[in-house]
Amino acid sequence: MIKYGRVLIVDDNEDILFSLKLLLKKYVELIHTEVNPKRIPALMEQESYDVILLDMNFTKDMISGQEGFYWLDEILKIDPSAVVIFITAYGDVERAVKAIKEGAVDFILKPWQNEKLLATLSAAIKLRGSLIEANKLRLSRNELCKKLDQPFHDFIGDSAEMNKVYNTINKVASTDASVLILGDNGTGKELVARALHRNSNHRNDVFLSVDLGSISETLFESELFGHTKGAFTDAKNDKPGRFEVASGGTLFLDEIGNLSLPLQSKLLTVIEKKEVTRVGSNKPRPVNVRLICATNMPIYQMAKDGDFRQDLLYRINIVEISLPLLRDRIEDIPPLVEHFLKLYTHKYKKNIKSISNAAMKKFRQYSWPGNVRELQHAIERAVILSDSKILQPNDFSLKSPHSVNEEGTLNTYNIEDMERDIIQKVLRKNNGNISRAANELGLTRASLYRRLEKYGI
């Protein structure tokens, strides 16, 4: 039989202590007995008990149980997760209920039934294990929250350009102003949105991110505004939209520049009225969200050309945050490299110490069209494939940014380089419009998004 658990028994009757020790020694790993409750603090300093069996009535006060309640309070002051079971010959329902309310986990009467006492003790020991595990998880969560609550913990870099971003976040985070984040792919737009939320008055409420570029026009209203049961073929239940789910918190609408004009109009109506109407319903529902939007497209030019509603643009950019390209803050490359190198050597259990000066020089000279995300992928790929302790330039297969020149002449015959640059050229031609670029390339939007992710565009 496997013995487990550490038990302290406190009772002024030595016969009771002897009987309990005799009964429990077959089942319990460690048993301490004590007739004097004043010894409890010293005993708890020396040992961490899973269960404390505590007499409710000592010689000072024979029947009321008040002395037992006093020592219960003292025990919980020392260890708030202590598991205490009261034992008494004068128990009744009223005192049993009070004992539980005061912090005891159970209550047994003298004389006891052996089987019942053993079952109660076993359950109490398991409870103690659960409480200890819960405390560990709580401590871990608190430590994580402390790290998450540090301003801009997700951002690496101390360049003048990034400090401008930090300053703007500090000024606008505590307000409810709508924010528009502008920046190329891979510059960290969602990181900014999360930093705004984390430092806002809504930090304890939901943060919900929606990639508008991945939602088809037919599903737009259902996804953002919700639907009722039977509203369309697959609507088997009522479903709240993203606006309702995020109500009270922050809603981050990424790639807002991809919305068609009809969808822009529907979004504008919701923002102005602060209410949504689910598909299949006529009942408006109030919503209250802190709205943050982002795009990598030339949204002001689009508004000028009539491709983006000017009134919607006014609504979503009370404050604007523009993110710098990585090539415009090359002084941030070394700390970024150090961060990602540490991250991936730990993840893949590799003994790589650093990158060479030559490799760092290559990084400084490279244009980084995919920005920080491309740098991150380059480091991860090198860590996976390299067997050396110091990464060299040839460990990084950075893509040539000029495999196709403006006249269309090939400077390389590498298929991936060609595909990457053709995609970039078509995106520029279509002012970053994913739908039009995908159509011209003969791809679906989903296929184009996969290639953008693959090449870090």
- Condensed to tens digits (0 to 9), the pLDDT of residues 180-228 reads 999 998 999 999 999 999 999 888 899 999 999 888 888 899 999 998 9
Whether 200 and 174 share a structural domain: yes
The pLDDT score that the predictor gives to residue 427 is 85
Closest among 265, 297, 253, 291 to 435, alpha carbons compared: 297
For residue 244, is it within any domain? yes
Q: How far is CA 127 from CA 36, 84, 90, 123, in A?
A: 26, 11, 26, 6
The pLDDT score that the predictor gives to residue 31 is 93
Strand boundaries in 129-263, DSSP class E = 179-182, 207-211, 226-227, 239-240, 250-254
For residue 155, is it within any domain? no
Which of 78-82, 217-221, 375-379 is predicted most confidently? 375-379
For residue 29, is it within any domain? yes
Helix, strand, coil distribution of the chain in percent, nearest 5: 50, 15, 35
Whether 128 and 208 share a structural domain: no
* Alpha-helix residue ranges (DSSP H) falling in 199-296: 220-225, 242-245, 261-273
Q: What is the largest CA-CA distance in the chain?
A: 101
**pLDDT range class, residue 248, cuts 50, 70, 90:** very high
**pLDDT range class, residue 142, cuts 50, 70, 90:** low
**pLDDT range class, residue 404, cuts 50, 70, 90:** very low
Whether 368 and 444 share a structural domain: no
For residue 207, is it within any domain? yes
Q: Are 411 and 400 spatial neighbours (Cβ–Cβ below 8 Å)? A: yes
User: What CATH number is given to the structural domain containing 81?
Assistant: 3.40.50.2300
The pLDDT score that the predictor gives to residue 202 is 87
Whether 189 and 307 share a structural domain: yes
The more confident residue out of 429 and 351 is 351
Tell me the pLDDT of the chain averaged across its residues: 86
Record the pTM: 0.59
Query: Which residue, 324, 341, 357, sits at the end of a domain?
Result: 324
For residue 151, is it within any domain? no
User: What CATH number is given to the structural domain containing 437?
Assistant: 1.10.10.60
- What is the distance between the alpha carbons of residues 259 and 267, in angstroms, rounded to a whole number? 9
The pLDDT score that the predictor gives to residue 156 is 87
**pLDDT range class, residue 1, cuts 50, 70, 90:** low
Query: Which residue, 120, 144, 168, sits at the end of a domain?
Result: 144
User: What CATH number is given to the structural domain containing 389?
Assistant: 1.10.8.60
Across the range 125-133, mean pLDDT stands at 84
Of 62-66, 150-154, 165-169, 172-176, the least confident? 150-154
The pLDDT score that the predictor gives to residue 99 is 73
Question: What's the token pair of residue 81?
Answer: 């997760």
The pLDDT score that the predictor gives to residue 402 is 46
- Cβ-based neighbour number of residue 46 at 10 Å: 7
Across the range 320-341, mean pLDDT stands at 94
**Number of structural domains in the chain:** 4
Closest among 434, 439, 412 to 424, alpha carbons compared: 434
Question: What's the token pair of residue 134?
Answer: 């819960």
Q: Are 142 and 178 spatial neighbours (Cβ–Cβ below 8 Å)? A: no
Whether 281 and 199 share a structural domain: yes
What is residue 394's DSSP assignment? G
Whether 260 and 409 share a structural domain: no
Whether 311 and 371 share a structural domain: no
Whether 246 and 190 share a structural domain: yes
Query: Which residue, 324, 347, 364, sits at the end of a domain?
Result: 324
What is residue 400's DSSP assignment? P
Q: Give the β-pairing of 390-391 and 354-355.
A: parallel
The pLDDT score that the predictor gives to residue 150 is 47
User: For the CA atoms of 341, 346, 350, 354, what is the dihedral angle to 10 degrees?
Assistant: 30
Whether 186 and 227 share a structural domain: yes
Closest among 259, 295, 299 to 184, alpha carbons compared: 295
The pLDDT score that the predictor gives to residue 141 is 59
The pLDDT score that the predictor gives to residue 214 is 86
Residue 318 belongs to domain spanning = 160-324
Whether 268 and 337 share a structural domain: no
The H or E element containing residue 97 is helix 93-102
Q: Which residues make Cβ contacts (< 8 Å) with residue 347, sequence separation at least 6? A: none
* Alpha-helix residue ranges (DSSP H) falling in 226-260: 242-245
